[in-house]
Structure 1
Amino acid sequence: MRPEQAYLDLIKAGGKTTEAAATELYDQLKSIDPSFLKGEWEGGDFDTGHPASQALKLINWVGKTFHNEEDVEPIIVRGEDGKRTVLESYGRARIREIKFRGQVSAAMVYDDKPIIDHFRYVNEDTVAGMMDVKNAPPGYHFHLTRCHGTPSKM
């Protein structure tokens, strides 16, 4: 089975896996260009037991919005009114190409936090993400699905 299909199957099955299995699958996926990320994305993650998963559930994280390579809203939450809203306390981010796990691909670098989210291609509407946080456990795996009606080029 192709890694892209295995990744989609894992999402569909509810995402329960190990950090090692998720990382092995992530490493098989192809790079993406920063411009691919433009638009609004819905987020989800894999149940590997990573502490970031619970923290994001507590704040009602639902995705990210990439306006352009210099302006990213990294933490979008579902507000009390049900609408997508920026969690301002996490600040902003930008997109760069960074080598991670042996491959150069688009990565989101937070402006004010020691966090880099690295992305890989799954299909035209889905990207794999792996968070890299200084002084924190490795291997938080998440995925983004393009919200319908958003462009794919910056």
Structure 2
Amino acid sequence: MENTPLQSTLQTEVSNWFNSLEPVNPEEMIGLWKGSGHPSGHPLDGVLENLHWFGKRFHPDMRADALLFEGDPGKLVAIEPAFFPIRWAVRFAGFGRTARAWNLFSHVRPRLRAKSTTASLQQRMDEGVLTAAMVYDRQPIVDYFRRSDGIVFGKMVVEKDPRRYFFRLQQVDEGLPA
């Protein structure tokens, strides 16, 4: 799936903006974070929101729940990312933004629950800057983090894919159980 020139221009603009942000230390990421997409012309723009993505949780042992979704009211469900091969998710992103996708996902979500954490939090180099990064255990994905004005922004990098998915994270109270 190729980007249109407009999507490529937007990807470049958002990448340049992201690279101008301050780095984050991994310890600053510990806690529960509410996420939302940051439009960038990536095929996954809008998909996670449609599926009721909540965000991420980072534990003091530097392990992470990479994908938290809203389940029953007041409950969060950590999903095993390995159930969604990233290249397929990108390829069928158009379907992921439909009501049918949300309906299907809401029915299968309980069976996709992660048995434990699914990623590690570490420091990595991103565009010449040492910053916090979340490395998925069973997917070729690294999320890099930068900050601006109290908001943490993320950039998902999929191995061998030049496109980047961008998102924002705001820390929230740990009162929501997973």
Fold equivalence (TM over 0.5): yes
Correspondent of 1:111 among 118, 131, 137: 137
Could you tell me which residue of structure 2 aligns to residue 37 of structure 1?
Answer: 29
Q: Out of 95-104 and 82-91, give the one that drifted further.
A: 82-91
**Conserved? CA contact 2:23–2:146, under 8 Å:** yes
CA distance in 1, matches of 2:60, 2:10: 33
TM-score by length of 2: 0.67
Could you tell me which residue of structure 1 aligns to residue 96 of structure 2?
Answer: none
Change (3 A) 1:66 1:48: same
CA deviation after TM superposition for structure 1 residue 69, in Å: 4.5
The alignment yields a C-alpha RMSD, in angstroms, of 2.1
Which one has a bigger Cα radius of gyration? 2
Q: Out of 32-41 and 54-63, give the one that drifted further.
A: 54-63
CA deviation after TM superposition for structure 1 residue 101, in Å: 1.1
Could you tell me which residue of structure 1 aligns to residue 170 of structure 2?
Answer: 145
Q: Which amino acid aligns with 2:164?
A: G
Gaps of 5+ in 2: 1-8, 83-113
CA deviation after TM superposition for structure 1 residue 56, in Å: 1.9
CA distance in 2, matches of 1:121, 1:67: 19
The runs of at least 4 consecutive aligned structure 1 residues that moved more than 4 Å come to: none
CA distance in 1, matches of 2:149, 2:49: 25
CA deviation after TM superposition for structure 1 residue 120, in Å: 0.7
* Higher normalized strand content (fraction of residues): 1
**Conserved? CA contact 2:66–2:81, under 8 Å:** no
Q: Which amino acid aligns with 1:134?
A: E
Correspondent of 1:28 among 14, 17, 20: 20
CA distance in 1, matches of 2:172, 2:29: 11
CA distance in 2, matches of 1:146, 1:136: 29
Could you tell me which residue of structure 2 aligns to residue 55 of structure 1?
Answer: 47
CA deviation after TM superposition for structure 1 residue 116, in Å: 0.1
Change (3 A) 1:139 1:88: closer
Could you tell me which residue of structure 2 aligns to residue 14 of structure 1?
Answer: none
CA deviation after TM superposition for structure 1 residue 30, in Å: 1.1
Change (3 A) 1:94 1:21: same
TM-score by length of 1: 0.76
Change (3 A) 1:121 1:69: farther
SS in 2 for 1:135: coil
SS in 1 for 2:173: coil
Q: Which amino acid aligns with 1:21?
A: E
CA distance in 2, matches of 1:75, 1:33: 20
Instruction: Give percent identity, aligned residues only.
Output: 30
Could you tell me which residue of structure 1 aligns to residue 98 of structure 2?
Answer: none
Could you tell me which residue of structure 1 aligns to residue 66 of structure 2?
Answer: 74
